[in-house]
Amino acid sequence: MKRISILFVCMGNICRSPLAEGIFTHLAAEAGLSERFAVDSAGTGGWHEGEPPDHRSIAIARKYGVDISAQRARRIRKADFSAFDMILAMDRDNVADLLRIAPSAGNIRLFGDAAGTGEDIPDPYYGDNSDFQLVYARLLTGCRKLLAAFGADNAS
């Protein structure tokens, strides 16, 4: 069976996209479906390349049993547009940035559209812990719906 490859993308790859990667990977593992997916994350900008996720993202993930501390930020690469089945941007600005980089890519979608919520995931970087909690909750809801869309209805 071919693995479905998903790349979660935000601006700097330290807040939202590492959380999405960690949550989706965790849910797939809980559902016994890890082997069905290849999951990664990236940013449209390279300001934080090589850095771990924001300490608040690490903390909120850890609170729910998800470990993202080993992840390292990276900038999206041209090769990603052909390497991944789905490139899921956290907000409409990220979608626009991705389309500027690869205007003909047909695999770029808004995370909220792919997950069935239709919403942007707000950037919590300049917020406080409650903003990271809200982002975690929205990503969890979206990742559950996304996993269910792939036939994994037993995702917890």
pTM for the full model? 0.95
Q: How far apart are CA 70 and CA 90, in angstroms?
A: 21
Is 1 within 8 Å of 33 (Cβ atoms)?
A: no
Domain ranges, residue 93: 4-149
* Active-site entry in 54, 123, 138, 143: 123
Domain membership of residue 106 (yes or no) is yes
Angle at 72 between CA 66 and CA 73, to 5 degrees: 110
Domain membership of residue 154 (yes or no) is no
Residue 97 belongs to a domain with what CATH number? 3.40.50.2300
CA distances from 31 to 17, 41, 94, 99, 147 (A): 21, 21, 29, 33, 9
Q: How far apart are CA 18 and CA 60, in angstroms?
A: 12
Q: How many domains does the chain fold into?
A: 1
Domain membership of residue 101 (yes or no) is yes
The pLDDT value recorded for residue 154 is 42
Domain membership of residue 155 (yes or no) is no
The pLDDT value recorded for residue 151 is 72
Per-residue pLDDT of the chain (156 residues; tens, 9 = 90+): 689 999 999 999 999 999 999 999 999 999 999 999 999 999 999 999 999 999 999 999 999 999 999 999 999 999 999 999 999 999 999 999 999 999 999 999 999 999 998 999 999 999 999 999 999 999 999 999 999 998 754 443
The pLDDT value recorded for residue 155 is 42
* Active-site entry in 15, 16, 40, 80: 16
Domain membership of residue 94 (yes or no) is yes
The pLDDT value recorded for residue 56 is 98
Domain membership of residue 11 (yes or no) is yes
123 is an active site residue: yes
100 is an active site residue: no
Domain membership of residue 32 (yes or no) is yes
The pLDDT value recorded for residue 2 is 82
User: Residue 40 pairs with which residues in a beta bridge?
Assistant: 7
Half-sphere exposure of 86 (CA within 13 A, CB side): 22
Domain membership of residue 156 (yes or no) is no
* Active-site entry in 10, 56, 80, 144: 10
The pLDDT value recorded for residue 152 is 54
Which amino acid is residue 35, in one-letter code? E
